[in-house]
Homo-oligomer: A and B are copies of this chain.
Amino acid sequence: MNRLALAAGLLLGAVSAHAAEGMWTPDNLPLAELKARYHFAPTAAWIAHAQHAALRLAGGCSGSFVSPNGLVLTNHHCVNSCVQQLSSAEHDFIQSGFYAREEKDEIKCPEIELNRLDTITDVTARVKQATAGKSGEDYSKAEKAVKSEIEKECVGGDAAHTRCDVVSLYHGGVYDVYKYHRYQDVRLVFAPELAMAFFGGDPDNFNFPRYDLDMGVLRAWENDKPAQVKDYFPFSRNGAAEGELTITVGNPGGTDRQLTIAQLETTRDVDTLHRLLLLAEERGVLEQFRSQGAEPWRIAESDLFFVENSFKALKGRLEALQDPEVFNFKRKQEAELRAWVDADPARKAKYGAAWDEIARAQLTWRNLSVPYSFIERGLGFGSKYFGYARALVRGAEERRKPNAERLREFTDSALPSVEQRLFSTAPVYPEFEKVKLAWSLTKLREWLGADDPFVREVLGKESPEALAGRLIAGTKLGDPTVRRALWNDGGDAVAKSDDPFIALARRIDGEARAIRKRYENEVESVIDKNSELIAAARFEKYGTSVYPDATFTQRFSFGEVKGWEEHGKWIEPFTTLGGAFARATGFDPFKLPQSWLDARERLNLAQRFNFVTTNDIIGGNSGSPMINRDGEIVGLVFDGNIESLGGDFWFDERVNRTVAVHSGAILEALHKVYKAERLAKELEAARKR
């Protein structure tokens, strides 16, 4: 029995030769099904090539190499922050778009890191051995220590170019270490106007038919030269036909398809609900802030996009969780497995208590979630300045410890990412930060209560507005050279700094760490340990090959171009460039940019623009290449339909759809709208390798 077989059978019979369901790890593709359903038999070389041509954007997206010179294709909404960070009141690339006419015009994105997945190594035995027989704090410490050790060995001293993450698959059924090539010199090559990238805006988000050029082009650089890469995807001008096999290679962020009922209930009643209520209010604040003028509009844009996108996604997720039919199905699944476990005394002794243990941890979490979110996760201190201060204060303390004893985000393998964010040259807007900080401090007081000792410690007698104003007026952390100096000093400067944000971060760190410790010892470790047991029980009972819940690591999905029926109406799978002109109203968010209005006569309006497929994706897959069996890019994944939002919990091939930009539309727009010949030619040259 090899390790892939070990991972099998963890989802309950949901996979058949006719299902597009599945987010498959590259080392465990459903080869038999691919052959049966699509007559497709990828070779090991084909798979390795796709694995190495695909990329992860460490901030939460996917992408791929599309030329041997390190050219990278992803979504506009994945490079939106960078475009905004490179903009100013004078040059607003969000509005105007961006194109580097020559290689020297490509500008470095201050906070983008690319990861190419080079190797996967099974470390299950080593991790399980380290935690065997432990529980609570012992378990938590042992698990973190062994992960940090493995990662350090894997990085081998070259953290600047190598990133290693221990990944828990099947909720602890398998542990792998993923070794990535790390690129931190990533430059912006092209981005269309937001109005075209996100045509239809929030109203059309997660909807279809759709007309978005949601693309952004980056380039990985190394040693001040374009990175040379062996594996990349060439472009298909024709794209995919209806019914054709489409393959996505990306990094779905997370799914909850294997959670227990108790976990799903907490997700529904606590986590998702709280998040939605806070997002809704923050959205109102940002909307009104933005309406105050052109510059506020520009400054708030990328925050508002993030908030609106999250809100819509989470609202769909909550509605899915409220569907009694689905919950009953999950309940029945769980009851069956538990009945089978309980039927045998040995199995019962081994696995029987796991569900109740997880349920108990949920009760602890319900009490802990508000302080954990607001204090340790920083929700109550919503400002870049606080983020910098926290990283400096904790970084100083953690870096003095041995690697295996540090907080996981400060291990040697993780430090380059921390430093990239901390040293970022992206502008910080004090007025905007003040609005966000004052608001989040108000929420801190509201959710913890005005008489909570922590709230009193933070606010003293001040109001949230007064405190936010005072902190921001006094800080120097908006200057990256100040941050860099404090970080490089190694600790003393941070300990002595009278910067008000650093003083605040120092003052609350004890309480924040105490809450984190409670979370790790009483919630996380209990869930980890008992999820492993449930994973093992599932394996004993079920035998077919399945895929693990998503973990923001590389996954392949296999589907086909296909419409679906919505409210009794068949939705065709393709839209055309002409459709965008028909949908335009002249008012934001249905206002086409001038470049497109000017290009109208030149464009082939029948060119396919966006399309849908049955691929199984989720947030994190944004920017994923969609390739055909020949490994050519036929599309660029940028969204799912509304029905796909239940994909967190299950996959329904009848209605769940991935939305992509057609490869032909990308080439058409680059040639005829943007006259981006340097870029278009590089893509087409790659095509003719």
Interface string of A267-311 (1 = CB under 8 A from B): 001000100111011111111110110000000000000000000
Query: CA of A620 to CA of B485 in the docked complex: distance in angstroms?
Result: 60
- Interface presence of A588 (CB below 8 A): yes
- Give the contacting residue for A202; candidates B273, B288, B446, B463; CB below 8 A: B446
Given A203-B445, A288-B289, 19 additional A-B pairs, CB 8 A? A200-B450, A273-B318, A276-B277, A277-B280, A281-B283, A281-B284, A284-B287, A284-B288, A285-B288, A286-B288, A287-B439, A288-B288, A291-B435, A461-B587, A461-B590, A462-B587, A463-B587, A463-B588, A463-B590
Query: CA of A462 to CA of B285 in the docked complex: distance in angstroms?
Result: 23
Smallest Cβ-Cβ distance to A276: which chain B residue = B277
Known: A277-B315, A280-B277. A288 touches B435 (CB 8 A): yes
**Closest CB-CB distance, A455 to chain B, in whole Å?**
9
- Interface presence of A322 (CB below 8 A): yes
- Interface presence of A204 (CB below 8 A): yes
- Interface presence of A157 (CB below 8 A): no
Smallest Cβ-Cβ distance to A318: which chain B residue = B273
> Which residues of B lie under 8 Å from residue A273 when comparing CB positions?
273, 318
> Which residues of B lie under 8 Å from residue A585 when comparing CB positions?
460-463
Majority SS of interface residues in chain A?
helix
Listed from nearest, the 10 A-B pairs whose CB atoms lie closest are A284-B284, A288-B288, A463-B587, A280-B280, A461-B585, A203-B450, A284-B285, A281-B284, A280-B281, A285-B288
Query: CA of A109 to CA of B494 in the docked complex: distance in angstroms?
Result: 59
> Which residues of B lie under 8 Å from residue A284 when comparing CB positions?
280-288, 439
- Interface presence of A586 (CB below 8 A): yes
Query: CA of A118 to CA of B73 in the docked complex: distance in angstroms?
Result: 76
Query: CA of A596 to CA of B586 in the docked complex: distance in angstroms?
Result: 56
**Closest CB-CB distance, A563 to chain B, in whole Å?**
16
Interface string of A157-182 (1 = CB under 8 A from B): 00000000000000000000000000
- Interface presence of A466 (CB below 8 A): yes
Tell me the chain A residues, 573-592 only, with Cβ under 8 Å from chain B. 585-588, 590
**Closest CB-CB distance, A328 to chain B, in whole Å?**
13
Of the candidates A204, A282, A284, the one having the most CB atoms from chain B within 10 angstroms of its own CB is A284
> Which residues of B lie under 8 Å from residue A461 when comparing CB positions?
585-587, 590
**Closest CB-CB distance, A250 to chain B, in whole Å?**
28
> Which residues of B lie under 8 Å from residue A60 when comparing CB positions?
none
- Interface presence of A449 (CB below 8 A): yes
> Which residues of B lie under 8 Å from residue A439 when comparing CB positions?
284, 287
Query: CA of A289 to CA of B277 in the docked complex: distance in angstroms?
Result: 19
Can you list 26 contacts pairing A with B, beta carbon distance less than 8 Å? A203-B449, A204-B450, A207-B450, A277-B277, A277-B315, A280-B281, A281-B281, A281-B287, A282-B284, A284-B286, A284-B287, A285-B287, A285-B288, A286-B288, A287-B439, A288-B288, A288-B289, A288-B435, A292-B292, A460-B585, A461-B585, A461-B586, A461-B587, A462-B585, A462-B587, A463-B585
> Which residues of B lie under 8 Å from residue A449 when comparing CB positions?
203, 207
Tell me the chain A residues, 544-596 only, with Cβ under 8 Å from chain B. 585-588, 590
**Closest CB-CB distance, A681 to chain B, in whole Å?**
37
**Closest CB-CB distance, A146 to chain B, in whole Å?**
38
**Closest CB-CB distance, A601 to chain B, in whole Å?**
22
Query: CA of A585 to CA of B449 in the docked complex: distance in angstroms?
Result: 16
Smallest Cβ-Cβ distance to A284: which chain B residue = B284
> Which residues of B lie under 8 Å from residue A285 when comparing CB positions?
284-285, 287-288
> Which residues of B lie under 8 Å from residue A462 when comparing CB positions?
585, 587
> Which residues of B lie under 8 Å from residue A289 when comparing CB positions?
288
Query: CA of A292 to CA of B465 in the docked complex: distance in angstroms?
Result: 13
**Closest CB-CB distance, A264 to chain B, in whole Å?**
13
Query: CA of A287 to CA of B450 in the docked complex: distance in angstroms?
Result: 19
**Closest CB-CB distance, A203 to chain B, in whole Å?**
4
**Closest CB-CB distance, A595 to chain B, in whole Å?**
21
Query: CA of A269 to CA of B324 in the docked complex: distance in angstroms?
Result: 11
Tell me the chain A residues, 461-475 only, with Cβ under 8 Å from chain B. 461-463, 465-466
Query: CA of A322 to CA of B586 in the docked complex: distance in angstroms?
Result: 45
> Which residues of B lie under 8 Å from residue A288 when comparing CB positions?
284-289, 435
Query: CA of A460 to CA of B465 in the docked complex: distance in angstroms?
Result: 41
> Which residues of B lie under 8 Å from residue A292 when comparing CB positions?
292
